Amino acid sequence: MSKVYINAGAAISAQATFDGGFLENAVINRQDVFLPAIEPDYKAFISPVASRRMSKAVKMAIIASAQALNESGVSVPDAIITGTGAGCIIDSEKFLKAIIDNDEQFLTPTSFIQSTHNTVGAQIALGLNCKGYNFTYVNGAVSFESALLDAIMQIELQQANNVLVGGVDEMTPYFLELQQMIGHAKSDIATVGSVQSEGAGFFVLANTPTESTYAAIEDVTLYNKLSIAELPSFITGFLRKHHLEPSQIDLVVAGNNGDVFDDYYDKAAHLFRNYAITVQYKQLTGEYFTVSAFALWLASRIIKEQHIPEILKPHAVKHKAIKNVLIYNQYRGLDHSLILLKRV
């Protein structure tokens, strides 16, 4: 079976992560319940005429994928695989509003066509003239991990040599209000739920390493429902598949988001308390369905540069070589995922 390498990556988030830096100027916003993505200059990548017809998710994905491809030196990938939880929800809302406003008559199909979840992958492919495998996964909080699993299998089964894989989600005021009504998002900073956000992360995976390689992906696993008591055996079982013990993990990237389900992350951190550094990142990015794409960008950059950004460092951390990294994410006690990365 082929090894799978991350040869390039790009992220658009609530921090200035698109400018080539590595969270040097990151700030933690403790006042707002929604953290919008910091958008790059779209005109540098997309014509203004085309940009006006694109949702924010499509524009973020096109630009993040273009940066990743440029870094990898790959002009056209063999496959494009995308994960998204909410898709192009801005256009979905436009179409639903038009149905109501026009009494279900004389509707134009534009917003409906552009609202489908696979619009993102399709627009990337059209821009690249890529006629290869193109698939979109809509699987809640593991949408990105599902896409990542498919990308790994495409390479391992020798169906593709280079795969563009990513996750993207956008937020609207109405969708945020719905999330707040059901208690998934904070209405104010003191209420239950998580701080919401949006973003995009895209990567070029390949079967051979290059000078730009960040890390190797050893494995990805998903599990829908786990009790906190079952979590340690889930993690240790996953590691033992790769002949690893908790003592051999150097860094854990955990998705704590401040809601009442952070007990899962506390349990995971306790498992590695004597061995690994644990860092949290959602205080910088907020929560959205495919935020684990940012976690992969962060973890792979840490491995490549052997440096943890100061804003993420726990106190009194002793510097050591970072070889094995585990990413753990879950959403409201469900959709648990583990990603294991290794230094090349």
pLDDT per residue over 74-125, tens digit each?
Answer: 999 999 999 999 998 888 888 888 888 888 887 777 777 777 899 999 999 9
Q: Sorting pLDDT into bands at 50, 70 and 90, what band is 8?
A: very high
Query: Which pLDDT score is estimated for 196?
Result: 98
Distance between start and end Cα atoms, the chain: 17
Gap between the Cα atoms of 198 and 56, Å rounded: 10
Distance, in Å, from the CA atom of 259 to the CA atom of 194, rounded to the nearest integer, reads 5
Quick: pLDDT tens for 153-182: 999 999 999 999 999 999 999 999 999 999
| Main-chain phi, psi angles of 120, to 5 degrees | -60, -55
Give the single-character DSSP code of 212. Answer: T
- Count how many residues are written for the chain: 344
Is residue 77 within 8 A of residue 162, CB to CB? The reply is: yes
pLDDT of residue 318: 64
Spatial distance between the Cα atoms of 201 and 178, rounded to a whole number of angstroms: 25
Residue 320's pLDDT is: 79
Decide if 5-206 and 217-342 have a common fold.
yes
Residue 287 contacts residue 262 (beta carbons within 8 Å): no
| pLDDT tens digits, one per residue of 22-70 | 999 999 999 999 999 999 999 888 988 888 889 999 999 999 999 999 9
Residue 221 pLDDT > 70: yes
Q: 279 in helix, strand or coil?
A: strand
Q: Which residue has the tokens 């004597």?
A: 274
> Structural domain boundaries of the chain?
5-206, 217-342
Q: How confident is the model at residue 19 (pLDDT cuts 50, 70, 90)?
A: confident
Residues 213-227 have a mean pLDDT of 97
Confidence at residue 233, expressed as pLDDT on a 0 to 100 scale: 98
Spatial neighbors of 299 by CB under 8 A, at least 6 apart, are 215, 251, 253, 325, 327, 339, 341
**CA nearest 171: which of 297, 303, 291?**
291
Q: How far is CA 36 from CA 2, 14, 27, 140, in A?
A: 38, 6, 13, 20
Q: Please tell me the pTM assigned to this model.
A: 0.95
Whether domain 217-342 has CATH 3.40.47.10: the reply is yes
Give the strand pairing for 324-331 and 277-280: unpaired
CA max distance for the chain? 65
**pLDDT (tens digit, 9 = 90+) per residue, 295-312?**
999 999 999 999 999 999
Could you name the CATH architecture of 5-206? 3-Layer(aba) Sandwich (3.40)
Cα→Cα distances 129→40, 90, 161, Å: 23, 26, 17
CA gap 121, 111 in Å, rounded = 17
